[in-house]
Amino acid sequence: MAPSRAGPVAVPTLVIVSHTDIASSRAHRKLLDAIAGLPGVVVRHLEALYPDGRIDVAREQAAVLAATRIVFQFPFNWYSTPPLLKAWQDDVLAVGFAFGPGGTHLRGKQLQLVFTAGGTRESYRAGGHNLFEVTELLKPLEATAHFVGMTMLPPLVLYYVPNVPGIPVPDDADARIDAFCLRYCDLLAAPEAATAVTLP
Ligand SMILES: Cc1cc2nc3c(=O)[nH]c(=O)nc-3n(C[C@H](O)[C@H](O)[C@H](O)COP(=O)(O)O)c2cc1C
C-alpha cells in the first residue's frame, strides 16, 4: 500500500493519468493509490476509461472546465507522454475550446507535469546519456500550455525507476517511489500550486 496524506486542497485539480500497462507498473500504481480520494482532486485514468482508445471529448472537456489545475501523470515514454495522453491533447484541446474563435476555456489554468523516468537525474544533462535536460525535452508541452493560455508549473519528476523487462530495478526504487508519493500528495494539497520541486 502506498503512503498517502490527506489535507486541505485549495486548487480544484484534475489529474489525467496515462500508462500503457498499469498492471505491470511499479511506480504509477502506487501513485494512483496515494492520490485516491484526496479532497478536491478528480482522477481520470485514460486507459481505464477508454480501453478502445476512443476518448469522450465532451466529458473530458467538462472535467477540464471544472478544474483550475490540470495534472498530467505519466511515465516518460520515448521522451514524451504515452500515446493515449497525446491523443487526449489532440482531441480535447480542440479549436473553439482551447484555441481559435471562442477557444478560451483553458486560459488562466495551470498545467502540472508529474512523471517518472527510467533514466537517472545525471543522465538528463546537456550532452549526457539522454542528451538534454528534461526541461528541454518538455518544451512541446510547455509550448502547448502557452498556446492555450495555461501556465506550466515546474515538473515533479521521479528519476531512475526503470520498469522495463531485462533492465535491473535499483534496490532503493520502492523507497524512493514511496517518498515521491508523499511529495505528490503534498503538491496536490498545497494551497499555492507553484511550489513543485524536482527530486534528485
Ligand atoms: C515504451 C517505453 C518508453 C520509455 N521511454 C523512456 C524514456 O524516453 N526515458 C526514460 O527515462 N525512461 C523511459 N522508459 C522507462 C519508463 O519511463 C519507466 O519504466 C517508468 O517510468 C516506470 O514507471 P512504472 O513503474 O509505473 O511503469 C520507457 C519505458 C517504455 C516501456
CA of 199 to the centre of ligand 1 (A): 17
CA of 104 to the centre of ligand 1 (A): 34
pLDDT-above-90 percentage for the chain: 89
Ligand 1 atom with the shortest distance to the CA of 177 = 25
CA distance 13 to 122: 31
CB under 8 Å, gap of 24 or more: what pairs does 192-196 form?
192/10, 193/11, 193/13, 193/68, 193/69, 193/110, 193/112, 193/153, 194/110, 194/153, 194/154, 196/112, 196/153, 196/154, 196/155, 196/156
25 CB-contact burial (10 Å; exposed 0-12 / middle 13-18 / buried 19+): middle
Task: Tell me what pLDDT residue 185 has.
Answer: 97
Task: Tell me what pLDDT residue 190 has.
Answer: 83
The residue whose CA has the least distance to atom 25 of ligand 1 is: 26
CA distance 175 to 100: 46
9 has a pLDDT exceeding 60: no
Please, are residues 178 and 30 in contact by the beta-carbon 8 Å criterion?
yes
CA of 182 to the centre of ligand 1 (A): 21
- Choose which CATH entry (3.20.20.70, 3.40.50.620, 3.40.50.360, 2.60.120.260) describes domain 13-189: 3.40.50.360
Within 10 A of 97 (CB to CB), how many other CB atoms are there?
20
Pocket flag, ligand 1, residue 27 (CB < 6 Å): yes
pLDDT tens by residue, 18-70: 999 999 999 999 999 999 999 999 999 999 999 999 999 999 999 999 999 99
What mean pLDDT is predicted for residues 143-156?
97
Task: Tell me what pLDDT residue 200 has.
Answer: 39
CA of 77 to the centre of ligand 1 (A): 5
**At 74, which helix (H) or strand (E)?**
strand 69-75
Please, are residues 176 and 167 in contact by the beta-carbon 8 Å criterion?
no
pLDDT tens by residue, 72-120: 999 999 999 999 999 999 999 999 999 999 999 999 999 999 999 999 9
Task: Tell me what pLDDT residue 102 has.
Answer: 98
Pocket flag, ligand 1, residue 144 (CB < 6 Å): no
Task: Tell me what pLDDT residue 41 has.
Answer: 96
H-type alpha helices, the chain: 27-35, 46-49, 57-65, 83-92, 134-137, 139-147, 173-189
Task: Tell me what pLDDT residue 4 has.
Answer: 53
Pocket flag, ligand 1, residue 155 (CB < 6 Å): no
176 has a pLDDT exceeding 70: yes
Task: Tell me what pLDDT residue 6 has.
Answer: 53
198 has a pLDDT exceeding 50: no
177 has a pLDDT exceeding 80: yes
Q: pTM for the full model?
A: 0.93
What integer best gives the mean pLDDT of the chain?
A: 93
CA of 45 to the centre of ligand 1 (A): 17
CA distances from 118 to 25, 57, 109 (A): 12, 31, 29
Pocket flag, ligand 1, residue 77 (CB < 6 Å): yes
Query: Under DSSP, is residue 87 helix (H, G, I), strand (E, B) or coil?
Result: helix
The residue whose CA has the least distance to atom 2 of ligand 1 is: 77
Ligand 1 atom with the shortest distance to the CA of 24 = 27
Within 10 A of 125 (CB to CB), how many other CB atoms are there?
14
All cell numbers assigned to 109? 489554468
